[in-house]
């Protein structure tokens, strides 16, 4: 996704607010709004915590282990739903 920003190392509170704004329609972006509408407050908090703890400014390592993803993630890659979070390529 060429227009997707690198969220690694971003401020956790900023990410929470941005995702809630996409979910509520205060921020506009077709892909982000569609995704954010499906997220609960807990999932938003989990995603923000995950991305804020990644090293800033770089690409995620392809060798990163699944242990870096929140423990309660799911098959669709979202925390609380059963699989690992998607990795940058």
Q: Phi first, then psi: what are they for 73, rounded to 5°?
A: -85, 170
- Tens of pLDDT along the chain (89 residues) come to 557 778 899 999 999 999 999 999 999 999 999 999 999 999 999 999 999 999 987 655 543 443 444 444 444 444 444 444 444 44
Q: CA distances (Å), 8 to each of 24, 51, 55, 86, in order? A: 23, 5, 6, 13
In this prediction, residue 57 carries a pLDDT of: 77
Could you give the CA distance from residue 34 to residue 77 in angstroms, rounded to a whole number?
Answer: 15
Predicted structure pTM score: 0.62
Could you give the CA distance from residue 7 to residue 10 in angstroms, rounded to a whole number?
Answer: 5
In this prediction, residue 2 carries a pLDDT of: 57
Q: Which residue in this structure is represented by tokens 């999932």? A: 43
Could you give the CA distance from residue 18 to residue 87 in angstroms, rounded to a whole number?
Answer: 20
């Amino acid at each position: 996704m060429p227009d997707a920003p690198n969220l690694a190392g971003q401020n956790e509170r900023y990410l929470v607010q941005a995702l809630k704004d996409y979910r509520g329609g205060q921020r506009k972006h077709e892909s982000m709004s569609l995704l954010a509408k499906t997220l609960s407050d807990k999932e938003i908090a989990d995603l923000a915590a995950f991305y804020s703890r990644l090293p800033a400014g770089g690409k995620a390592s392809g060798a990163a282990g699944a242990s870096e993803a929140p423990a309660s993630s799911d098959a669709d890659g979202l925390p609380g739903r059963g699989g690992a979070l998607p990795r940058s390529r």
